[in-house]
Amino acid sequence: MHSAEPRVSLCDTDIMTSVADPKSVKVNLTTGTGLDIEWKDGHRSHYSFPFLRDACPCALCDEERSKTGRQPGEAPKPKAGELPMFKPAAKPLSAEGVGKYAIRFKWNDGHELGIYSWQFLRDVCPCEECGAVKHSA
């Protein structure tokens, strides 16, 4: 008789519950108003497209932000003595889901490397409630 060995799962995603799971996601490409997410815990987040472009999580943008001390979503500051250049407002040309965990945008400036995971988006939620929690921590 063989002894039954306990089955070990290397992946615990089946038992994890996450507040970073969206209940609904609406990308307002035509109106250009941004991304709206209703999370499974009832929280609602609104992200303007300029905020999302400035929060791009790709390695290139993350490195550039860390060099200048910017937070995700914070617009770049013009360098001292540099004349501001006109650039059109950030707007995605398209958006697509990445598996069940993220969304990716193709931006009007040609950038398309950032994969915005639901967890990342929840972590950078720009609402007043989340901002108060971040500042009190």
Return the H-helix or E-strand segment holding 28: strand 22-28
**pTM flag (> 0.75):** yes
Nearest to 125 by CA among 58, 65, 37, 50: 37
Which residue is associated with the tokens 């889901």?
Answer: 97
- Tens of pLDDT along the chain (137 residues)? 544 554 444 444 444 446 688 999 999 999 999 999 999 999 999 999 999 999 999 999 999 999 999 999 999 887 777 777 777 889 999 999 999 999 999 999 999 999 999 999 999 999 999 988 877 76
Classify the C-alpha dihedral 120-74-89-126 as positive or negative: positive
Residue that the structure tokens 């360098």 belong to? 79
**Are 45 and 19 spatial neighbours (Cβ–Cβ below 8 Å)?**
no
Radius of gyration of the chain (CA): 19
Structural domains present in the chain: 22-74+91-136 (3.30.2020.30)
